[in-house]
Structure 1
């Protein structure tokens, strides 16, 4: 296990934190250890890290896997990272916006990879969505995120946390909580608790869906107006009312239910039945 020297590196280079980039760097070695151990990476693994900061997690990853591609958007951190890892042959620092890169191209089109990161809070949901919907060759995603988002990811039907992100993640992955992380584990300290969560991608999605794009449109419509019944919430899909009503009947779903009560399988059934009626 490495010695955490985040504060020393920040001081050495006179680095100033950017609030707009959501920079909170780890200073707790036990958290770094738990992220790496929880990710189950080994010497044959290729890892993509998003938002390496000054490289605290990067260093530990480099000691435990074959190759680390660290993607950093902040131009002020690039020379720091390149200097700190100039003698580390299996770390490649990439100065890009992670939301604008093709991860498959970075690692090689036929290479499977794992994502391990202390994600800035503001890009958590966009990055998860990008990875899941972009058909990337990743096996697992081990990330530290805001506790509130982790709770939503793990949520089950019939609770306020359950929503579109819950279904998106659970449709594609098994989710595991590794541990909670207090604000004191970072500099500067965030105002909220964090959670380390691991998402293992399923070989096939959790339910059969004829058209994933429509499936997720249906889900978003169902949660955009949570207080409305499904029948009213789905009106903005511009689908004839008779098709919607018959689809509820075929799916054995009460149209007076709300979206937050439906399982993934029920959403899949409703989505498929609507498409069947539209196409017939």
Structure 2
């Protein structure tokens, strides 16, 4: 079998696998399995996955995207919390993409450490919707080798991640994602490609890493972001008074960074927060 002949999973195969394993998708784990071959091909293409990539995939489920990734990528490491799904994935890959180099990590994605995955170059995943932002930020933090991200998330979350300063939906996820690189929307995904069909729309988000900032400043930058948005209706002087110890100290820091203390946190770009942290 050549790489171009990987047998992708369709709706019937997904149901068969689920029945075999006694798996019912659960809301608790944010499971909605993709069963459309065209969608997984589109995700791989949107992520610019190449034959030199080591892709880390989070929440592979029954393996529809995994098989498509192995059709192109050099290696795939799949992080799966459900032990039944983690145990079955190598079997599915052996049948459908036997040329693929797959490693499975049976672990909660939020508990993954830098030693669990060897220098991934790309993160491509249909992220579990209930933990999508924390998982995304966790992997960007612990794997500086990740150059590109292409994730499918709830549409509302995607819009927040890609939001610009000053917009109503600009918030903590927007600024923190922007710390790591250029964030943009990369397409809409219909509900019918999932089993079970979710009651929300989905979108693709692409992040191209740009190491513009010294990562040593990240803890302070993220603390400032959290404080500024915890009371987003307050001015920065008021919102950051707890962080700096007093309103006056907050004002002094803001002025020193060239930021108007009367602004709200939603007006600041990630560059402003980095300048303030320094």
TM-score, length-normalised on structure 2? Answer: 0.88
1:191 pairs with 2:199: yes
- How big is the shift at 1:191? 1.1
Preserved CA contact (<8 Å) 1:107 1:113: no
76 and 107 in structure 1: CA distance in 2 versus 1, 3 angstrom threshold: closer
In structure 2, the residue matched to 1:39 is: 47
Shift in Å, 1:154: 0.8
SS in 1 for 2:259: coil
Q: Paired residue for 1:55?
A: 63
- C-alpha separation in 1, matches of 2:247 and 2:215: 22
1:8–1:220 Cα change, 3 Å: same
Structure 2 counterpart of 1:269: 275
Does residue 231 of the first structure (1) align with residue 237 of the second (2)?
A: yes
1:210: Cα distance to partner?
Answer: 7.2
Q: Which one of the candidate residues 64, 77, 80 is aligned to 2:72?
A: 64
For structure 2, list consecutive stretches of 5 or more residues without a partner in the other structure: 1-5
1:243 CA drift (Å):
2.9
Instruction: Assess, with a 3 A threshold, how the Cα gap between structure 1 residues 28 and 210 changes in structure 2: closer, same or farther.
Output: closer
Q: 2:104 aligns with which of 93, 112, 135?
A: 93
1:58-207 aligned at under 5 Å gives the runs: 58-86=66-94, 88=98, 89-102=100-113, 104-108=114-118, 111-205=119-213
Q: Which moved more, 1:85-94 or 1:113-122?
A: 85-94
- Cα distance change, pair 95–245 in 1 and its aligned pair in 2 (3 A): closer
Report the Cα offset of residue 170 of structure 1: 1.0
> 1:234 and 1:41, CA in 2 relative to 1: closer, same or farther beyond 3 A?
same
Partner Cα separation in structure 2 for residue 39 and residue 210 of structure 1: 28
SS of the residue corresponding to residue 117 of structure 1 reads strand
Contact persistence 2:163–2:169 (CA under 8 A): yes
Change (3 A) 1:210 1:99: closer
| Contact kept? 2:34, 2:64, Cα under 8 Å | yes
Deviation at 1:10, TM superposition (A): 2.4
Partner of 2:94: helix, strand, or coil? coil
- TM-superposed deviation, 1:203: 3.4
Gaps of 5+ in 1: 273-280
For these two proteins, the number of residue pairs brought into alignment is: 267
What is the Cα deviation at residue 184 of structure 1?
1.5
Alpha-carbon distance in 1 for matches of 2:35, 2:110? 26
Matches of 1:44 and 1:53 in 2, distance apart? 24
Q: Any residues of structure 2 matched to 1:255-266 within 5 Å, and which? A: 255-266=261-272
Distance in 2, Cα, partners of 1:238 & 1:250? 13
**What's the CA shift for 1:18?**
1.9
- How far 1:12 moved relative to its partner? 4.2
- Which stretch of structure 1 is more off in the superposition, 5-14 or 212-221? 5-14
CA contact (8 A) 1:7 1:27 kept: no
- SS at 1:77 equivalent: helix
Secondary structure in 2 matching 1:85: helix
| Aligned equivalents of 1:54, 1:209: Cα separation in 2 | 36
